[in-house]
Structure 1
C-alpha cells in the first residue's frame, strides 16, 4: 500500500497550527457532523459519534460546540449543509482532492478555486484526479494507550476483526479496511478493549509524486490556504514534499 503522504506532509508543515485550540475544535466539529450525519444524532446507537464525542471531551471542547455540530447534521436551525469534493492539480502537477462541508457552495467553490490559482495550481473537473486515490477505512491505535501489545498480537486482533492490513510504526498501529467493513472492525476492536484514536473513511493515493524543490513553497502555501478555510473538511494529497521542506 502506498504511503499516506498526507500525514508525512502535515507532520512537518502543520505542527504549530494543529496545536492551536481553534483548529483542533474545528476538526472535531467536522468529525462530529460527519458521524451524526452518517449514523444519527444519538451516541448510544452511533458508535462513531460516541468516539468523536470522547475526543471532544478529551480536548476539553465546550458542550455547546459539540451540540451545535450534531444539530447541523440533524438539520436543526434551518441551515442546510452540503458535502462536496473538489479535485485539482497543485504546483508540479500534483493531485489534490478537497472535501468540503458548506452552506454556500458558490462561496466555497470560489475560495477553493482562488487558492489553487494563487499558488500555481488549477482546479480540475470531477474525476480528473480521484482515480489516483483509493477510498479505505482507516483506524489508528496509539501505542501509549496499549499495555504490552506487540505487532503480532495487534495484527491478529485486526485480522480477526475483519481488517485487510495493518502497519506498525514507532508510535501507533494503523489498521486498514474496506469502507463497508469499517464499522464492524471498529466495533470489534473497541469491544476487545482497544482505544481508537481515529476511525474514519479516508483517501489513500495509489502513487506519490515528489514536489519539485523549487515549487515546495507554492505547494505548502496552497495546502495551508485550503486547510485554513473553515469550509474545508480535509485535503488529500498524492504528493510528497522534499525532506528539507518538512520541518
Structure 2
C-alpha cells in the first residue's frame, strides 16, 4: 500500500513540475511577445499565439493577464531567444532552445549540463542540419473535423497530418507557419498548441539502457529555468 501511495505521489509531483515548467515557458513567450509587439493581442499575432498556447496547458487567465502586465512594465527583464546545439551520449544530437535575460549564465549552465552527463556542446550549426524547423499544430480530435477540413488544411500549408485517439497533429514547413495561423484564425479554430519545433530528419535506435542515458541529459536540460525546449532524434 505504501509503495502504491509513493508511486501516485511521484506521478502527482511530476505532473505539477511539468505544469509549472509549461507556465514558466509560456510566461517568457508572453514577455518576449509584449516587448516586441506591445500588450494588445489584437495587434500582436505573437502574443495571440502565446495566449492560445496558455489556454492549451490550462494556464489560469489571471496568470496570463499578470504576465502581460509584468511584461509591459519597465522593470521586466528583456529575454533573448537563443539556441544551443550539442550531442548527448551515444551521438544523439540535441537542439536546446532557451529564453534568457543573461546569455552568459545560460551558456555556462548548458555547457555544464552537457559535460556532467556525458554529452558535448557543439558550435552553432554542428547539429542543426540534422533537423528541420517546422510548424506543429496540435488539436483535440473533437475540435477539428478532418473530413470537412483536410483539403483546406493542405491548401493552407499542411505538409503532413497525423491522427490518433488523443490528438491531431498538423505539420507545416517553416515558411507556411504564418499562413496556417491565419487560416485557423479565420475559421475560429483554436489548437491546443501552435509552435515552431525542430523535427529530426532521421531517428536513431538505441537500447533501453542507452536511451536512459540520453533522456537523463534531456531531463536535466529541461529542468533548467532558462531552457524552453529540447529536441532530439531518439526513435
TM range, smaller chain: 0.7 to 0.9
Give 2:222's match in structure 1, choosing from 207, 221, 227: 227
* Partner secondary structure for residue 193 of structure 1: coil
Shift of 1:38: 5.9
What is the alpha-carbon distance in structure 2 between the residues aligned to residue 116 and residue 175 of structure 1?
Answer: 32
Shift of 1:78: 6.6
TM-superposition CA deviations, 1:204-227 (whole Å, max 9, x none): 000111233332332222111101
| TM-score where L is the length of structure 2 | 0.82
Unaligned runs of 5+ in 1: 1-13, 241-247
Shift of 1:30: 2.9
How many residues matched?
220
| TM-score where L is the length of structure 1 | 0.78
Q: How does 1:15-34 map to 2 (within 5 A)?
A: 17-20=14-17, 21-34=19-32
Q: 1:208 matched to which residue of 2?
A: 203
Q: How does 1:135-214 map to 2 (within 5 A)?
A: 135-146=133-144, 149=145, 151-214=146-209
Q: RMSD of the TM alignment (CA)?
A: 2.5
The range that moved more, 46-55 or 180-189, is 46-55
Structure with the larger helix share: 2
**Contact map agreement 1:141 1:194 (CA 8 A) in 2:** no
Q: 2:231 matched to which residue of 1?
A: 236
Distance 1:227 1:138, change over 3 A: same
* Partner secondary structure for residue 118 of structure 2: coil
2:121 equivalent to 1:126: no
